[in-house]
Chains A and B, each alone.
Chain A
């Protein structure tokens, strides 16, 4: 087990390193002229100034040297400085991370818990009204792109309610948890729903299919004939086996979750990592982009290791090797 985890961490580190190489390579193929962007109208008249700024940023050196500088600083936990705000990238990430974490973790909890629960309920009552309702929900959830759903929710639940005199849902923005927990919660309800619905639909269908299959197994009949309560049969014996593919799906969805967070932050004006990276990209703020991409890939890789370990916990038949 421990050997397996160590090996996965090593291969994961290689994946992250490869990704950092690719990001660097992208900017080497088409290097953005940062000095021009920074200097604006001064750039046209003063070639000397452009050269000075380029040298200051270390952009006049060969890509290999630049990459080496980046790596050595990275080992010391230094991600460089933003070209624009001149703040350390680690500070910027420190400000944005709580927003994205609140959004992503909350949404993931909502979609996994409610998706699996609705899926189990539909599977235990196939073709019932509830089952049909959940099917309809899945269909709508899968076909609504995140940003369309988010804007629609804003229009109906923020603007229309606001016109009707109900100001429950705010029209966007973020309030830190430490500042006001209730406002934090209220501000995140619509973003959570927006981010959760599409994935929730997938989990409802997946859980339903898996549960229908598992509930037909012999050991479920055995458990029932043993006189166990139906709830125990379904949740302890049935759901546990059905959870394995759901956990796999969750591993895949972590990358999707980050993409969804970018879009959701854009819709609701949340200043998280997603919005930060979109701004960085339009400004060609290279250190920020590289840091966010790296952080995101570390996150995806770690999530996948956790998923692999969870397999073994959930399904004793899985041998880690």
Chain B
């Protein structure tokens, strides 16, 4: 899913061309201001942004929230949290979203899982885009020799059977949050790099780059001052679209048992545990699953709106 979304972003027109309509404004507004105005008017974007903000707050305030609810992520409630047969208890007054097979409160575990998902998802996406932009910029700007080496490298990374590889790597190195971030970033940067390279190749031939060079600007200066700002719009779009992909990647690793290791809760390992109990405890499967799906949905819709706001000419992924 990531690759296709990224390839759609690749259709963004050359950012160096001024947007039609911009000059016609009586009041001078930068393209960024215009994008911001468009984004604020987009109701879907506002709702999704509000939901994501809520998630961030929940992640930050996880500890006070757990105190207020009265259970910790690993507290096993033997009195109200488990039936006489040792089975999970459904949603009731004691446990709003029910309990799992060890009598732990599912709501509290989802809250702590939010923290894992956001930390891993956002850091991995940002890291992947950083690496991708740097490598793509170098490949596109520094000439054919560097390009052929880096382009080949990206091809190799893209042809890795990545999930299999990620599993093998995590088992050898030992699972942890940091390893998870690194693994996800390692397998995501190449898609970004390939697109940034393509855009850089086009920008590189423009007159203002030639002008900068004739004024004596060095490669690094041109890459950072002249090329990079023109890549900002697609870069922002990649970040928003890579976050949900990374969150799902994290959940998948945890589901397969090579991500966040229990008893630390993550949505992926909760769903993995729930797999053995879905016939007797639907809430155990449905609530963590819903948290994951809603979060992915919110980020996907927001990313789509951001892309639309930055460049209204591209086709929306989810046309209204």
- CB of A148 within 8 A of CB of B3, answer no
Contact indicator B256/A263 (Cβ below 8 Å): yes
Residue positions of B touching A, CB distance < 8 A:
1, 3-5, 7-8, 155-156, 158-165, 167-169, 171-174, 244, 248, 251-252, 255-258, 271, 274-275, 278-279, 282, 285, 289, 292-293, 296-297, 300-301, 315, 317-319
Asked if A318 is at the interface of the complex by the 8 Å CB criterion, the answer is: no
**Neighbouring B residues of A23 by C-beta, 8 Å:** 165, 168
The answer, yes or no, to whether A133 is at the interface (CB within 8 Å) is: no
Q: With both chains docked as a complex, state the minimum distance between the C-beta of A302 and any C-beta of chain B, in angstroms.
A: 10
Contact residues of B: prevailing secondary structure:
helix
A147 and B252 in contact, given A159-B278, A202-B1, A209-B315 (Cβ under 8 angstroms): yes
Return the 10 tightest CB-CB contacts between A and B, nearest first. Answer: A259-B163, A296-B161, A143-B297, A202-B4, A143-B296, A148-B289, A252-B3, A281-B171, A145-B248, A300-B159
Chain A 263-290 per-residue mask, 1 if CB under 8 angstroms from chain B, else 0: 1001100000010011001101000010
Chain A residue at minimal CB-CB distance from B11: A209
Tell me the minimal C-beta distance from A11 to chain B in angstroms.
8
Among candidates B8, B160, B251, residue contacting A255 with C-beta atoms closer than 8 Å: B160
- Say whether B159 contacts A304, CB under 8 Å: yes
Cα distance A212–B315 in the bound complex, in angstroms: 10
Residues on A lying within 8 angstroms of B by beta carbon are 15, 18-19, 23, 26-27, 29-30, 32, 127, 131, 135, 138-139, 142-148, 151-152, 154-155, 159, 198-199, 201-202, 205-206, 209, 212, 245, 248-249, 252-253, 255-256, 258-259, 262-263, 266-267, 274, 277-278, 281-282, 284, 289, 292-293, 296-297, 299-301, 304
Is A281 within 8 A of B7, CB to CB? no
The residue in A252, A253, A284 that gathers the most chain B C-beta atoms within 10 A of its C-beta is A252
Determine the chain B residues whose CB is within 8 A of the CB of A253 once the complex forms: 3
The reply to whether B171 and A282 form a contact with Cβ atoms under 8 Å apart is yes
B156 near A26: Cβ-Cβ < 8 Å:
no
Please determine whether A277 and B167 come into contact, CB atoms closer than 8 angstroms.
yes
The residue of chain A having its C-beta at the shortest distance from the C-beta of B6 within the complex is A252
A198 surroundings in chain B (CB, below 8 A): 1
- Beta-carbon nearest neighbor of A29 in chain B: B172
CA distance A259 to B168 in the complex (A): 13
- Kindly report which residue of chain B lies nearest to residue A210, judged by CB atoms: B315
Q: How far is the CA of A278 from the CA of B5 in the complex (A)?
A: 29
Query: Which listed residue (A152, A202, A212, A248) contacts B289, Cβ 8 A?
Result: A152
Closest to B320 in A: A135
Query: Chain A interface mostly helix, strand, loop or mixed?
Result: helix
A212 / chain B contacts, CB cutoff of 8 Å: 315
Least Cβ–Cβ distance between B67 and chain A, in angstroms: 30
Instruction: Say whether A143 contacts B244, CB under 8 Å.
Output: yes
Q: Are B319 and A135 in contact (CB under 8 A)?
A: yes
A145 contacts B251, CB within 8 Å? Answer: yes
Contact of A245 with B171 in the complex, beta carbons under 8 Å? no
Residue of A nearest to B4 (CB): A202
A-B contact pairs, 25 of them (CB 8 A): A26-B168, A127-B319, A138-B318, A142-B300, A143-B300, A145-B292, A145-B293, A146-B252, A147-B252, A147-B271, A148-B292, A151-B271, A151-B275, A154-B278, A201-B1, A202-B5, A249-B7, A252-B7, A258-B161, A258-B163, A259-B163, A263-B163, A263-B252, A274-B164, A300-B161
Interface contact B172-A32, CB-CB below 8 Å: yes
Minimum CB distance partner of A263 in chain B: B252
Contact of A139 (CB < 8 Å), options: B255, B256, B297: B297
Among A26, A151, A282, point to the contact of B278 (Cβ < 8 A): A151
A296's contact among B164, B274, B301, by CB below 8 Å, is which? B164
> Residue B159 contacts which of A145, A154, A159, A301 (CB distance < 8 angstroms)?
A301
A300 to chain B, nearest CB (A): 5
Q: A30-B172, A259-B252 are in contact. List 17 more A-B contacts (CB 8 A).
A: A15-B155, A32-B172, A138-B317, A143-B296, A145-B296, A148-B289, A151-B289, A205-B8, A248-B7, A256-B1, A258-B164, A262-B163, A263-B255, A263-B256, A282-B171, A296-B161, A300-B160
Closest to B258 in A: A281
Do A19 and B160 touch (CB < 8 A)?
Answer: yes
Q: In the bound complex, do residue A293 and residue B168 qualify as a contact, i.e. CB atoms below 8 Å apart? A: yes
Contact A256 B256 (CB under 8 A): no
Which residues of chain A come closer than 8 Å to B318, judged between CB atoms? 135, 138-139
B275 touches A267 (CB 8 A): yes
Give Cα distance in the complex from A282 to B257, angstroms: 9
Does the CB pair A255–B162 fall under 8 Å?
Answer: yes
- Find out whether the CB atom of A293 lies under 8 angstroms from the CB atom of B300: no
Q: Write the nearest CB–CB distance from A190 to chain B, whole angstroms.
A: 14
A29 to chain B, nearest CB (A): 7
The reply to whether B279 and A159 contact each other, CB–CB distance below 8 Å, is yes
Residue of A nearest to B161 (CB): A296
What is the CA–CA distance of A1 and B235 in the complex, to the nearest angstrom?
A: 37
Cα distance, A148 to B291, chains bound together (Å): 11
Q: Looking at the assembled complex, report how far the CB atom of B111 sits from the nearest CB atom of chain A, in whole angstroms.
A: 19
Bound state CA distance, A267 and B271, in angstroms?
11
A127 contacts which chain B residues (CB < 8 A)?
Answer: 319
Query: Which residues of B are found within 8 Å of A284, using beta-carbon distances?
Result: 171-172
Q: A293, B172: Cβ atoms under 8 Å?
A: no
A293 CB contact (under 8 Å) in B158, B165, B248: B165
